[in-house]
Amino acid sequence: MEFSKSPAARVGLSIAVATGLYGVSFGALSVASGLDLLQTMALSLLLFSGGSQFAFIGVVGGGGSGAAAMSASGLLGIRNAVYGMQMNAMLRPRRWRRFAAAQVTIDESTATATGQSDPLEQSRGFWVAGIGIYVLWNVFTLVGALLGNALGDPAQWGLDGAAVAAFLGLLWPRLKAREPAAIAVVCALVTLLAVPFVPPGVPILVAALVAGLLGWFSFGPSREGLEPDVEPYPSEGRP
Partner 1 sequence: MNLWIWILVACLLSYLTKLAGYLVPARLMENPRMTRVAGTLTIGLLASLTAVNTFSSGQALVVDARLAALLAAAVALWLRAPFLVVVLAGAAAAALARFLGAA
Distance CA 144, CA 163 (A): 13
Whichever of 103 and 138 has its CB closer to partner 1, that residue is 103
Residue 179 Cα to chain centre, angstroms: 21
Interface of this chain with partner 1, residues 32 to 51, rule: CB under 8 A: 35, 39, 42-43, 46-49, 51
- From 13, 37, 70, 147, residue interacting with partner 1 (rule: CB under 8 A): 70
Of the listed pieces 3-11, 91-99, 119-127, 131-139, which binds partner 1 according to CB under 8 A?
91-99
Q: Which of 238, 218, 202, 142 is nearest to 193 (CA)?
A: 202
Smallest gap from residue 34 Cβ to partner 1 (A): 8
105, 112, 116, 122: residue in contact with partner 1 (rule CB under 8 A): 105
Distance CA 227, CA 208 (A): 18
H or E element at residue 158? none
Rule CB under 8 A: which of 111-140 touch partner 1?
A: none
Round to whole Å and give the CA distance between 63 and 133: 30
Nearer to partner 1, 6 or 54 (CB): 54
Residue among 1 and 177 whose Cβ is closer to partner 1? 177
- Backbone φ and ψ for 145, nearest 5 degrees, come out as -65, -40
Residues 163-222 contacting partner 1, CB under 8 A: 163-172, 174-175, 180, 183-192, 195-200, 203-204, 207-208, 210-212, 214-216, 218-220, 222
Number of residues that bind partner 1 (CB under 8 A): 111
DSSP string, 146-203: HHHHHH--TGGGTHHHHHHHHHHHHHGGG--SHHHHHHHHHHHHHHHHHTTTS-TTHH
Under the binding rule (CB under 8 A), the answer on residue 73 touching partner 1 is yes
Closest CB 115 distance from partner 1, rounded Å: 18
Nearer to partner 1, 10 or 210 (CB): 210
Tell me how far, at minimum, the Cβ of 117 lies from partner 1, in Å.
Answer: 21
| Residue 12: its H or E element | helix 7-21
Among 13, 37, 90, 102, binds partner 1 (CB under 8 A): 102
How far apart CA 219 and CA 177 sit, in angstroms, is 14
Residues 40 and 156: beta-carbon distance below 8 Å: no
